[in-house]
Amino acid sequence: MAVAALDPKLKEYAELLHDFSRVLSNLELRRILRELKSMVERAVDHEIVAFLYQLQATCHQRLGQANKALDDYRRALQRLREPTQARAETLSNQAGVLMYVGRYQEAALSSLEASRISGGYTHATLGKLAEALYRLGEIDAAVQTFQEALRLADLTNPSQCFMMANHAAELGLDQDAVELFARFIVRRNGGEGESRPAIEVIGSASEEDKAGLENVQILDATIRRMTAMAAELARLSALPTVEGDEASSEDAHDVYEATHQLREDALAHVLLG
């Protein structure tokens, strides 16, 4: 957003809060939130106030306070009546919180409105739209929208790789999620290890590289599942070859893939109670 350039502090907070690959403590989030609220009280320009409310919403979202985040987005949009890029960004970010609370139809509409505004047709907006369509049962449209989001994304940017990996995991595109998360790790480390297989990159990643997974449970579960499958297939391939082994390995892979939804449902049951 252009207004961020007016204040280096706002630009710093925007980059920090919107990068979900970075882990922020609740203490740090509350400190930033207090400072943003103080800025809102002093600001007079509508667009700057709206931008501050949007950053507050992201703080509340990261703190798990979805209703407060939606209130902040409502306040921001009240100040952004014209179809500007600022309104598009706010609508796009609002869609993420609407999905978090299960309001998928509203999330899709918010993303669609954002995408129709000049400057709003971005990988971030289309990624959220793809997720909303998927949750609404429009699987083919969701995958096509994700592919368009992927085309628009800058995959030399670690943050965007992480975001797209999360969208892929949400859509059940496990292999895409793994490849994009591996790309995130490689780009985060300056391109080192780019030629290695994705699972190998992830397996040798540092705890710091993988810290952001605690922000995205489905991507974390996908990475763990695919890593476990790769390890099991490697173990089976290392066993002495006897007649029927190759067929057994293929059968094991088929069973693993066939039970994907059952394992997803079991995981959701555990995570969501």
DSSP 122: S
Burial class of residue 70 (count of CB atoms within 10 Å of its CB; 0-12, 13-18, 19+): buried
167 in Cβ contact with 146 (< 8 Å): yes
Kindly give the confidence (pLDDT) of every residue in the chain, 273 residues in length, as a single tens digit, with 9 standing for 90 and above: 444 445 788 888 988 998 888 889 999 999 999 999 999 998 888 889 999 999 999 999 999 999 999 999 999 999 999 999 999 999 999 999 999 999 999 999 999 999 999 999 999 999 999 999 999 999 999 999 999 999 999 999 999 999 999 999 999 999 999 999 999 999 999 886 678 899 999 999 999 999 999 889 999 999 999 999 988 888 888 887 655 555 666 666 666 676 777 666 666 665 565
* Predicted pLDDT at 22: 87
DSSP result, 25-66 = -HHHHHHHHHHHHHHHHH---HHHHHHHHHHHHHHHHHTT-H
**Residue 272, pLDDT score:** 61
Based on DSSP, count helices (H) and strands (E) in the chain, helices before strands. Answer: 15, 0
Give me the half-sphere count of Cα atoms (radius 13 Å) on the Cβ side of residue 16: 16
Q: Where are the domains of the chain?
A: 156-273
How much is the pLDDT for 82? 94
**How distant is the alpha carbon of residue 92 from its chain centre?**
13
